[in-house]
Amino acid sequence: MIRFHYFGIEGAPAPWQSIWEKQLQLHALVASGQLGPQVIFAEHSSIYTAGRATQPAELPRDGSPVVQVNRGGRITWHGPGQLACYPIVKLTIGSVDYLRLLEQVIHRCLADWGITSVSPPTLTGAWVPATSRRPLRKIAFIGARVAQHTSLHGFALNVSNTLAPFANIIPCGLEGVEVTSMAAELPYPPSVLRVAHTFERHLEDVFC
């Protein structure tokens, strides 16, 4: 069984740094075998985080501060209305296979809410397919790290957040990429809390 932790959801947003410290505490316990699988759900206060592959040209155009993090991937934004999910689980598979599992979890959750998503072979995360009116657009972002065979960081899904902060950066290092959210794709989007509850079942199916 996974133990789920909730921070900042439908309340005061949780600062990224405090959640990172919580991840490290749980990671030490899971990696040492003192705890079983743990998952943190969080709704953050507004912040840019940059993974190890981030290039200077991708940083905020207005000089907004950026937190450098030790995950894979490049720069992204977190903030109110977006669901961040941090699985902290022992892994018996490689990091690439783990990323593919996270993508499948996201696809299943979005399908429950009537949104079809895909992960093109050359791209990470979850994307809403192109239509005659709109191009391929990114709805979820993945940036993970594995240490001591145990996962850190995770993914972020745009639920009802503003998309404006993404126009201030080159998200994930992809010039000209369109970003979307559940609110932009659905006439009546769910709350962040309801989306997190949907993820619980799919994470249990994959990791337990």
Query: What is the model's pLDDT at position 177?
Result: 81
Could you please report the per-residue DSSP string of 90-146? B-SS-HHHHHHHHHHHHHHHHHHTT---B--TT--SEEEPP-SSS--EEEEEEEEEE
Residues 69 and 54: beta-carbon distance below 8 Å: no
In the chain, domain spans: 3-207
* Residues paired with residue 147 on neighbouring β-strands, in sequence order: 150
The CATH fold assigned to 3-207 is: BirA Bifunctional Protein; domain 2 (3.30.930)
Query: What is the model's pLDDT at position 158?
Result: 98
User: Both tokens of residue 206?
Assistant: 């994959």
The answer on pLDDT for 114 being more than 90 is: yes
What rounded mean pLDDT belongs to the chain? 93
Catalytic residues: 172
What tens digit of pLDDT does each residue of 52-73 get?
888 988 898 898 989 999 898 8
The answer on pLDDT for 208 being more than 80 is: no
Burial 61-75 (b: 16+ CB within 10 A, else e): eeeeebeebebbbbb
Question: What is the band of 187 on the pLDDT scale with cuts at 50, 70, 90?
Answer: very high
Query: What is the model's pLDDT at position 102?
Result: 96
Ranges of H-type helices in the chain? 16-31, 95-112, 182-185, 192-207
pTM (predicted TM-score): 0.95
